[in-house]
Chain A
Amino acid sequence: MRGRSCSHRMADESAPGRPGSEIARCTAMPIDQGLQNASMGATENMDLKPGSRWSSQVCDTEVVIVRAPASAVSLECGGHPMVAQGGDRASGLALDPAFAGGALIGKRFADADSGLELLVTKAGAGSLAIDGTVLPLKEAKPLPSSD
């Protein structure tokens, strides 16, 4: 797992969610928040291989991995690590209001640093993030149908 400073991502205008809450998180939380999340247990050895499917622990969001990250990252939704689809959800978790921007079905998200790309296959109330940083939407211009 890598730790990453919040300022690293604050300039990322394409990130959905609220910049204000990001700043608040930066001042209120240690830089290595992502690392702490990871050490909470559920994300040890998160194998984000292409085609693998993951569910949020705190909302309906489901995603499929399109491109694997080059380095180990913790994939989160609604402020908590995602779990392999069909896997157990921890009890007592609640949606973190700082990560409640929502995920729309069919949308792609990508992290330029790690190369991770995923697709939302079921909509939910949580925002997708890795290591505590909200993932930016990958804008795709639809191509004319050719088949």
Chain B
Amino acid sequence: MHLSTLLEIAADAMGDRVAVAACEDGDLTYRGLLSRSGAVARHLSSRGDERLVAVDVNSEAVPVGLFASALAGIPYVPVNYRLADAQLVAILERAAPGLAVVEQSVPARLGHGIAGLSTISRSEFLSSDGPEPSSPRSDDLEDTAVLLFTSGTTGEPKAAVLRHRHLTSYVMETVEFMGADPDDAALVSVPPYHIAGIAAVLTSIWSGRRLVYLPQFSAESWVDRAASEGITHAMVVPTMLGRILEVLVEREETLPALRHLSYGGGRMPIALVERALDQLPHVGLVNAYGLTETSSTIAVLGPEDHREAVASDEPAVRIRLGSVGRPLPNLEVEIRDPFGAAVPAGTHGEIWVRGDQVSGEYVGRGPSLSADGWLATNDGGWLDPDGYLFVEGRLDDVIVRGGENLSPGEIEDVLLAHPAVADCAVIGIPDDQWGEAVAAVVVLVDDGGADAAALRSWVAERLRSTRAPEYIEFRTELPYSETGKLLRRVLKGELRPPAGRTA
């Protein structure tokens, strides 16, 4: 299918339903979203733009931009407007040529501008129109629908290519057409340059859910909007959830309309999940695991899984609270060894995935799928005998200490289970004797009393002594990207082992 077809079908079937609520000039219905997108598409076609770039906060310009690009047959390229000026310029040079919808402050930050890239303000963009194009529009499912620059926690950002067939396959296989109740509303606070921001538009439109945008995330405004709009569905990244739960307590707010709260985009501390279950017993929690290059979610831990795990005395069931659930039924997931051979349940290895929604393609790099369609995710993990997937983090982050492979995630989980630990990151640092040594950066809870020796023996008792951090540094916070990814690269650059032990 083509993204344009999704919207046309939805507009035919649910024309009068609200598609995007509380826009600048009121609600936008499904029919209104289609006609607005069509007008903007005519503007893009008449200008001959090759791409539509977005450098802006969240608003109705996201769904309008996404569908207008599809109708005009050009890629939609949302970019993080909060990047430092030099980085922003570098990314926009790669995103050009085309038209860029920009937030007010952006043009001044681009110096003399970007060759081949015109800019337009959001309000001008939303009211733009043009003559009917002379050539028929492209409905090629191989066309690029969206280009997303991956967050680049390691090295230079790559531009992931998502074609119409990838995104619509994800939507069609995971969402029931018009499956939403008429009052269902989704609060979108993840930015448009995150795959979850794109997926939220498509799955909401296809299911008939009203989209409500938060221009930028703050826990206070999220809670305000969720309460005032009667939000039923929302997706948050880990860093958002903790703050939201705090604000809910402060305000004694329970969000009675909320039914589904999904989280993903990074490792969620189990203690935080337990707190959410306890604090919002009427809400179904959903843990979603996916990559930009898999068109969003590939595995989900659903509300029942959460409730079962937390109520179970069975350790093997209980630990599923830390899993990402089971792969979507239309996908195949395997754990493989370093030689690419599948390994049995319970064995650690690399997560591989195959399915119609899997792109695994980057601009200028050629396809990275195997000949038979499998994508190596570069994430480590394992499957339990019932098919629950446990993700241990990027394989690049694995610590090799004296020939032994140590998973930072495993050590972090144990540290986070210590009552005095609020947050932590485990990384490898150069070591003369072992090649790499285990280092931990720990944030203590407000009244937390634990010293390095206590934490070291806590880990050694629960795992083994080789996994106990040799260096522990205490900080008041850890560096995260704004989409909730721990910036291990930043920590690696900052941490230096004590003098005399550096390699």
Contact = CB atoms under 8 A, between A and B. Distances in A.
Given A66-B172, A105-B178, A119-B177, A144 B302 contact: yes
B297 A146 contact: yes
Contacts of A144: 260, 262, 284, 286, 300, 302-303
Interface in A131-147: 140-147
Contact of B199 (A66, A106, A147): A147
Interface residues of A, number: 19
B141 A50 contact: yes
A139 B290 CA distance: 25
A51 to B, nearest CB: 5
Interface stretch (B1-9, B36-44, B465-473): B1-9
A140 B171 CA distance: 13
Contact of B286 (A53, A64, A146): A146
A37 interface: no
B200 interface: yes
Nearest to B170: A147
B296 interface: yes
Contacts of B9: 53, 64, 121
Most B CB atoms within 10 A — which of A122, A142, A143?
A143
B152 interface: no
Contacts, number: 76
Interface string B290-327: 10000011001011000000000000000000000000
B13 A146 contact: no
A122 B264 CA distance: 35
Nearest to B356: A67
B141 A145 contact: no
- Main secondary structure, interface of B, reads mixed
A105 B286 contact: no
Contacts of A142: 176, 179
Contacts of B1: 50-51, 64, 66
Contacts of A66: 1, 172
B62 interface: no
Interface in B1-36: 1-2, 5, 9, 12-13
A106 B196 contact: no
B12 A146 contact: no
Contact of B174 (A53, A64, A121, A143): A143
A117 to B, nearest CB: 9
A40 B197 CA distance: 48
A51 B300 contact: no
A137 B346 CA distance: 37
B139 interface: yes
Contacts of A53: 5, 9
B328 interface: yes
A56 B303 CA distance: 40
B5 A146 contact: no
B236 to A, nearest CB: 11
A106 B179 CA distance: 8
B479 interface: no
Interface string B248-270: 00000000000010101000000
B300 A147 contact: no
Contacts of A105: 13, 177-178
B172 A146 contact: no
Nearest to B202: A147
Most B CB atoms within 10 A — which of A64, A66, A141, A145?
A145
A121 B13 contact: yes
A144 to B, nearest CB: 4
Contact of A51 (B139, B286, B296, B329): B139
A105 to B, nearest CB: 6
B235 interface: yes
Nearest to A66: B172
A110 B284 CA distance: 31
B134 to A, nearest CB: 20
B33 to A, nearest CB: 17
A147 B200 contact: yes
B141 A147 contact: no
Nearest to B299: A146
Contacts of B290: 146
B283 to A, nearest CB: 12
A144 B261 CA distance: 10
Contacts of B5: 51, 53, 64
Given A50-B141, A51-B2, A51-B5, A145 B262 contact: yes
Contacts of A62: 12
Nearest to B140: A51
Interface string A96-120: 0000000001100000000000010
B171 to A, nearest CB: 10
B313 to A, nearest CB: 25
A121 B12 contact: yes
B233 interface: yes
Contact of B300 (A64, A140, A146): A146
A120 B288 CA distance: 28
B297 A140 contact: no
B203 interface: yes
B262 A119 contact: no
Contact of B233 (A64, A119, A145): A145
Contacts of A122: 12-13
Nearest to B184: A145
A64 B12 CA distance: 12
13 contacts: A51-B1, A51-B141, A66-B172, A105-B178, A119-B177, A121-B13, A122-B13, A143-B174, A144-B300, A146-B174, A146-B300, A147-B186, A147-B204
7 cross-chain pairs, A with B, having the tightest CB-CB distances, nearest first: A146-B288, A144-B302, A147-B199, A106-B177, A147-B200, A146-B297, A144-B286
Interface of B: 1-2, 5, 9, 12-13, 139, 141, 165, 172, 174-179, 186, 196, 199-200, 203-204, 207, 233, 235, 260, 262, 264, 284, 286, 288, 290, 296-297, 300, 302-303, 328-329
